[in-house]
Structure 1
Amino acid sequence: MSFSKLLGLFFSWKGQLGRSVYAFTGIALFIVKWNLDRLISFFTYDSFPSPFAYLLPVTDFGSVKELSNEVLLMLAMALPFIYVGIVLTVKRLRSLHWPLLTCVLFFLPFINLLFFFLLCILPKPIASSQEEEGREKKPKYWLDRMIPKGMVTCAVFSAGLSAALGALLVSLSLTTKIGQDYGWGVFVGLPFVMGLVSAVTYGHHTRRKASQCQAVACLSLAFSFLFLLLLAIEGILCLAMAAPIALPLACLGGWVGYMIQNQSSFNPSLALFLATFLLMGFEKKALPKAPLFSVRSEVFVNASPEEIWNNVVTFSELPPAEDWLFDLGIACPTCATIEGTGVGAIRHCNFTTGAFVEPITVWDEPNVLAFDVTAQPPPMKEISPYDIHPPHLDGHLESKRGEFRLERMEDGKTRLIGTTWYKHHMWPASYWKLWSDFLIGRIHQRVLKHVKKLSETD
């Protein structure tokens, strides 16, 4: 290949690209980028980046505080590779007759890996004039005989098959610990693949409309939730919290499946599920340390800090919760006790699921009470037809420390501030932070309002 053609391959937006050239060039560029980063790390860091580190974002954008010069240099060096990657992807999409807007999948973590794999294995699409003729002439494989031809029966079969495979991968990940549990693969990759596979399977005999493919994709997600519930793998609460991120990804997969259907006799479904499970195994090697988050809540109390202090250190039995959230099984605070006084005293904050053990680290009466968390109960009791205890109830939401701060106001009132610092080991961290912040905030409000009521009536 001449130098001008090589430049055209990397920088020109014109033309098309076959799957073999796309795959070889993409892998080669990754190897070049990795070795450039290793070279920079050789002069700036004590360790080299692992290839697994490129599978997922190093951290969530919300937890980025500052960027070092070395990181900025690596980001600057990544820009040409991003540009070339988009150029190559646009050419590959053009050869598949896909909308060029599909290249946005290039920027979605985890999905971009499946997207690259898909573009590397899909053959050249058959011409529309040859579609019916090809369908009649192609040999009848076992898949042709298995998939029903009726619209409704085919939809149920396609969604059920995709959901069963997805539930199987979740179960294998949780039981064998081969893949990362509750990570990008489970909450991002699998919904996308289930939606895609169900749409491709649904269009195996007859080309379907985009709306039909997306409806089947949503049905596959609903079936997978039902399987996970009936097989005692997960409860209703976790499934409900996963639905807002899983549903649009399943629809996105259904849209990609709509574009793939009937382009050739090749069905990428099994290969995609295997690739997803393989990436879930790599994900376990690639995940960074869980970021530390904080939740801050406050109330204004019509009392002095001296009058409030004792009600912060310990508080009596709370009345039954009126918040519907706690009726669903979320851990609900009931009372607080303490053994000793001052730094080193052990505080117990009791919940409906057990007790938090909180050694006091700061005792600044009547201003600040701070503590670490050395033991904690499950964050919820799952709603299920069975008595289950999913793995995410043990250590995936990890409280690290807490603090009560009392600030005297000029009008004689006190601002009572409660803060919890925590980590969670579920990904994408920024998505699950929305749920954990919401739940911890409601727990804060229940405690702070109770302390306010006790202090104002004393």
Structure 2
Amino acid sequence: MTSLTKYSWLTSAVILSIGFLFLHFGLVNYGTTFFFIFPLAVGFALGTHPKEQRSWLSLSLAAILFFGFLLAGQLEGLICVAMALPIFLLAMWIGYLIRKVTSVRKTKRTQDHLVVSVMPLVVLLALDPIEQMILPEPEVVTITTSVLLDYPAELVFDQVKAMDKLDAEKPLGIRLGLPSPYRCVLEADTIGAKRHCLFENGSIIAEITRYEKGEVLEMDVVDYSLTGREWFRFVDATYTFARENGQTKITRTSSYKSLLNPRIYWEPLEGWGIEQEHQFVLASLRKNLEEFTAGQ
């Protein structure tokens, strides 16, 4: 047994890491080819090695080593790794199982092992441009979150248009690494003014397009410098204020576009992540309102 075969799990992790570097440097895109077909090919290649007895262990070791490399090198955050790991493992398992039920012979020579091992990179580089040619333009996705507050709409509006601090208890996603703002600054109370939301690792700048006190605050996102800007873009954000039995129902709406595919996998995760940010902002708003009224 050659070293390449004996340590096929290590070889697979190296191939996955090289594929990610292709992504990192813009040689391939954030599509189905990278997130599903590429790891499927890696799993298939791993299954062609002779005497690959502990398939579950080899697949798991390869994936863990690969994602460990991303974390150790600070190439991706914990939350991104946690989101991508299931689809990578699933695709690698499917690739391995396809190999098990096909009649493709197992490789015996070192040269064959090398060719099979690097074949996933060839598949990635060959199929990615084809996928990009046939993919439709990203659709706008809208996420809405509402909360009922026991305060007048005008007061809620004043407290949310600019927030000196956002320090409520953080939901799970933000604790795992999703970006969360710590301050939002409004330049002026007028249409055309910029609203800057500041994060530890960047900012979101929006331009006010509709300003009606106690009714609606509408903004177009004009700049976004957070992690993920290569594949993710906020389009607009809106706060609406509805009066219900002496209370105010505030609704936060965010619209975005994403290049991540397959959409059937990524869209629910993106929606969950944005809802986590909505919950944090609205919880911080509630806390600020409580502190403001207590000080009156």
**Pairwise TM-score range, normalised by the shorter structure:** 0.7 to 0.9
**2:267 maps to 1:397:** no
Secondary structure in 2 matching 1:375: strand
Identity of aligned residues (%): 22
| Structure 1 residue aligned with 2:59 | 217
- How do 1:366-385 and structure 2 match up within 5 A? 366-379=214-227
d(CA) in 2 for partners of 1:366, 1:282: 50
Q: Does the 8 Å contact 1:178/1:281 carry over to 2?
A: no
Counterpart selection for 1:196 from 44, 56, 81: 44
Counterpart selection for 1:178 from 27, 41, 44: 27
| Structure 2 residue aligned with 1:338 | 186
Cα 1:168–1:318 change in 2 (3 A) is closer
More helix by share: 1
Tell me how large the CA RMSD over aligned residues is. 2.5
Q: Does the 8 Å contact 1:343/1:363 carry over to 2?
A: yes
| Structure 2 residue aligned with 1:253 | 95
| Structure 2 residue aligned with 1:406 | 241
**2:146 maps to 1:301:** no
| Structure 1 residue aligned with 2:277 | 443
d(CA) in 2 for partners of 1:262, 1:449: 57
Q: Which runs of 5+ in 2 are unaligned?
A: none
Q: Does the 8 Å contact 1:199/1:254 carry over to 2?
A: yes
Cα 1:230–1:191 change in 2 (3 A) is same
Counterpart selection for 2:133 from 263, 285, 291: 285
Match of 1:424, as an amino acid? S
d(CA) in 1 for partners of 2:43, 2:71: 19
d(CA) in 1 for partners of 2:101, 2:273: 40
Cα 1:232–1:347 change in 2 (3 A) is closer
**2:18 maps to 1:168:** yes
Q: Does the 8 Å contact 2:166/2:284 carry over to 1?
A: yes
d(CA) in 2 for partners of 1:216, 1:286: 34
Deviation track 1:89-115 (CA, whole Å, cap 9, x = no partner) reads xxxxxxxxxxxxxxxxxxxxxxxxxxx
Cα 1:415–1:251 change in 2 (3 A) is same
Match of 2:98, as an amino acid? V
Q: Does the 8 Å contact 2:39/2:92 carry over to 1?
A: yes
**2:164 maps to 1:316:** yes
Shift of 1:308: 1.7
Q: Does the 8 Å contact 2:204/2:224 carry over to 1?
A: yes
Q: Does the 8 Å contact 2:79/2:173 carry over to 1?
A: no
User: Computing the radius of gyration over CA atoms, which structure comes out larger, 1 or 2?
Assistant: 1
Shift of 1:239: 1.8
| Structure 2 residue aligned with 1:390 | none
Counterpart selection for 1:237 from 74, 79, 93: 79
Secondary structure in 1 matching 2:224: coil
Q: Could you say which structure has the greater relative contact order, defined with CA pairs below 8 angstroms and 6 or more residues apart?
A: 2
Shift of 1:408: 0.8
Shift of 1:437: 1.4
Q: Does the 8 Å contact 1:303/1:414 carry over to 2?
A: yes
